[in-house]
């Protein structure tokens, strides 16, 4: 991953923000909390819950950074839609198995000072449960600032309602003397707890 490649995704996001951002502003009317926690430059990992497809453009719109989202590999097989995701920097992950290619992309993006977005549950759901250990692995192994993100209201959105997006303060996670699998699992659970706390604050 080179700075030139990241700059290419930045250019794509100018267009994505122009079109999808307008939809987010008009329909979701997001209330944003903790935006000051998002650094203007440098590597960072966003770890968020996932209520609906709206989460992707909503989180992208309400903060200034270009996000390379980790997305399930099946989405990239959808004609046109898959190409748009890739154009904006999204990359596939094969769920249910170790995926060295996606982990390599995470590492290269962080190493180049970019932003990676991970939905900690791996799929859309209304409950704040089911944190995947892979999110904990990225937080521990990459040793980059990690920002928990709570998205509230996209899954139950109706015309006239607003959604809330809350960014927590960045922090780093260390393995310490724990076994790798234990560190990844416990870190994922800790991140889920932080997202729950932010979610409750947005009421």
What rounded mean pLDDT belongs to the chain? 92
Q: Find how far residue 86's CA is from the centre of its chain.
A: 15
State whether residue 148 is helix, strand or coil.
strand
pLDDT of 6 reads 83
H or E segment and range at residue 186: helix 180-201
**Ranges assigned E (strand) in the chain:** 31-33, 44-48, 67-72, 91-93, 115-119, 146-152, 164-167
Domain limits at 20? Answer: 3-201
pTM: 0.93
Helical axes 180-201 vs 133-142, angle rounded to 10°: 100
Phi then psi dihedrals of residue 200, to 5 deg: -65, -30
Residue 5 has a pLDDT of: 81
- The count of domains in the chain is 1
Q: For residue 196, how far is the Cα from the chain centroid?
A: 15
- Give the tens place of pLDDT for each residue, 77-128: 888 888 888 999 999 888 776 778 999 999 999 999 999 999 999 888 888 9
The answer to whether residues 46 and 171 touch, using CB atoms and an 8 Å cutoff, is: no
The closest of 94, 97, 92, 108 to 141, measured between CA atoms, is 108
- CATH at residue 121: 3.40.1130.10
Task: Please report, rounded to a whole number, the percentage of residues in the chain having pLDDT higher than 90.
Answer: 72
- CB neighbours of residue 186 within 10 Å: 17
State mean pLDDT over 14-22.
89
| Residue environment code for 6-31, b if the CB has 16+ CB neighbours within 10 A, otherwise e | beebeebbeebbeebbeebeebbebe
For 137-160, the pLDDT digits (tens) are: 999 999 899 999 999 999 999 888
CB hemisphere CA count around 144 (13 angstroms) = 26
């Amino acid at each position: 991953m080179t700075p030139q490649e990241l700059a290419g995704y930045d250019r794509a996001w100018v267009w994505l923000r122009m079109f999808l951002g307008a939809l987010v502003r008009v329909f979701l009317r997001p209330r944003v909390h903790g935006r000051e926690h998002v650094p203007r430059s440098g590597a960072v990992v966003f770890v968020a819950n996932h209520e609906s497809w709206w989460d992707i453009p909503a989180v992208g719109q309400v903060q200034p950074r270009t996000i390379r989202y980790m997305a399930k590999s099946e989405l990239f097989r959808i004609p046109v839609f898959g190409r748009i995701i890739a154009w904006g920097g999204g990359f596939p992950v094969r769920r249910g198995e170790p995926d060295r290619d996606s982990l390599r992309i995470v590492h290269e993006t962080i190493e180049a000072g970019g932003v990676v977005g991970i939905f900690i549950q791996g799929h859309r759901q209304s409950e704040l449960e089911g944190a995947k250990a892979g999110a904990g692995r990225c937080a521990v192994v990459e040793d980059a600032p990690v920002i928990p993100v709570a998205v509230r209201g996209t899954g139950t959105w109706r015309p006239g309602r607003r959604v809330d997006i809350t960014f927590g303060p960045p922090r780093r996670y260390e393995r310490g003397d724990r076994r790798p699998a234990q560190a990844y699992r416990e870190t994922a659970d800790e991140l889920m707890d932080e997202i729950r706390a932010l979610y409750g604050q947005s009421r």
